[in-house]
Amino acid sequence: MFTVGIIGRPNVGKSTLFNRLAGKRIAIVDDMPGVTRDRLEYIAEWEGKKFKIVDTCGYDLREELLKKEMIKQFYASLDEADFFVLLVDAKEGLHPLDEMVCNILREREKKFIVVANKVDNEKLQSFVADFYQLGVEEIIPISATHGKNVDILLDKIIENYVEDEEVTDFIDSIKVVVVGRPNVGKSSLINSWLGDERLIVTPIPGTTRDSVDTYFEYNSKKYTLIDTAGIRKKSVMFKDKIEKYGFYRSYDAIRRADIAVGLIDATEGVTERDVKVIADAYEAGRPVVLAINKWDAINKDEKVGKKFKEEIAEKFKFLNNPPVIFISALTRKNIFKIFDAVDNLYAEYSKRIQTSKLNKLLEHVQMLHQPPVVKNRRVKFYYMTQVDIKPPHFVIFVNYPDSVHFSYKRFIVNQLRENFGFKGVPLIVSYRKRGEET
């Protein structure tokens, strides 16, 4: 797919422009340099043309470990995009790093357009001339924050658009979010799937701050892979403003995903934080594949494996028999088995049951276990229908909805699973008085 990279030094507004082109707030935006650490991707559309936009980390020369990893990401993005938007800051004027990035693009023979950001008023328009020192014929002044002239920029992108012979459309792909506490290997797993260091991996907790979408095809099936910030306790994460954004972004990612891969570090066992993070994903209505990472680092025998499985079964019994896969993101062992589990869960997650079958089950349920009498009134079930999928949602019409005991509700859910499957999938069953809208 035709790919447009947004490139430049830190804090010129790349993420703000990315969000503007995407039409939604995807990248974390803050005045602090270095907020964007991984490459973010989104499929945008203009004038009937679909293209991928990539938000890159800013080009910087500081020597910290994290900065070195970000520079690696910067250079990797140069090989990925077909056309670049070199974003500069009109308010600050020409910067030596702007010249360096421009020279890098020329050396690599990359097509690009210089775009001066933060031109929020006519007074700032005159500042744009400074950037002609870069030796370019055209500069587009914009305000990414207010949307000024972004349509002109999009027109310029379409002028340089090259149609792919095979345009891969991931809009209907299965969205897979990888969740877990910090440093369990979420970014490493996605990089291992891709065979490419697209996401920054360091021993520093909190390296990933954005929820990063990556488009991926495996066995002729399309997936959107979503890496998330490691979720720690709110009391810890909320001390840092950017990490707080990452916390909310992670939960947004879970809500827009179809399936969650809950990653657990085998060397540390199942912790309370693991259970909490994965429970949050399931309670949000997302089926979970449990992936036990770093299994290669365990000195194990049959007893160790059996004990670990028993611990998982006990602590995650609320997941209703989830798939469990022992993997190594480092050696790539078993990592692609996760997609088999994802496909199976997605089929169950998307399943619809005919209303006639549901009502036969409802009759059978009442024969097996007669509804209770509440305040001298027998609870009577009239009708059941499925109103939604992903997650499956059923509505049962009953004379006294508030009188259905939780134990009977659990009995009905168990009968749904026993008769129709839904293994590992959260189910929603609502009770309404006859005559109410579904």
Binding residues for GTP: 8-15, 55-59, 117-120, 180-187, 227-231, 293-296
Return contacts of 184-187, CB within 8 angstroms, 24+ apart.
184/230, 184/263, 184/264, 184/265, 184/274, 184/293, 185/263, 185/265, 185/293, 185/294, 185/329, 185/330, 186/227, 186/228, 186/230, 186/263, 187/38, 187/227
Q: How far apart are CA 5 and CA 102, in angstroms?
A: 13
Degrees, nearest 5: CA angle 434-437-438: 100
Q: How far apart are CA 279 and CA 273, in angstroms?
A: 10
Instruction: Please tell me the number of Cα atoms within 13 Å of 64 on its side-chain side.
Output: 9
Q: Which residues lie below 8 Å from residue 25, measured CB to CB, with a gap of 6+?
A: 19
Degrees, nearest 5: CA angle 23-283-229: 50
Contact present, 184 and 263 (Cβ < 8 Å): yes
Alpha-helical runs (H) found in 222-349: 234-237, 241-256, 272-283, 302-315, 337-349
Q: Which two tokens stand for residue 127?
A: 């500042």
State the residue for tokens 């950001």.
117
Q: At what angle do helices 241-256 and 272-283 cross, to 10 degrees?
A: 50
122 exposed, middle or buried (CB, 10 Å; 0-12, 13-18, 19+)? exposed
CA nearest 149: which of 113, 194, 117, 186? Answer: 117
Binding residue ranges: 8-15, 55-59, 117-120, 180-187, 227-231, 293-296
Contact present, 322 and 288 (Cβ < 8 Å): yes
CA nearest 319: which of 280, 279, 291, 350? Answer: 279
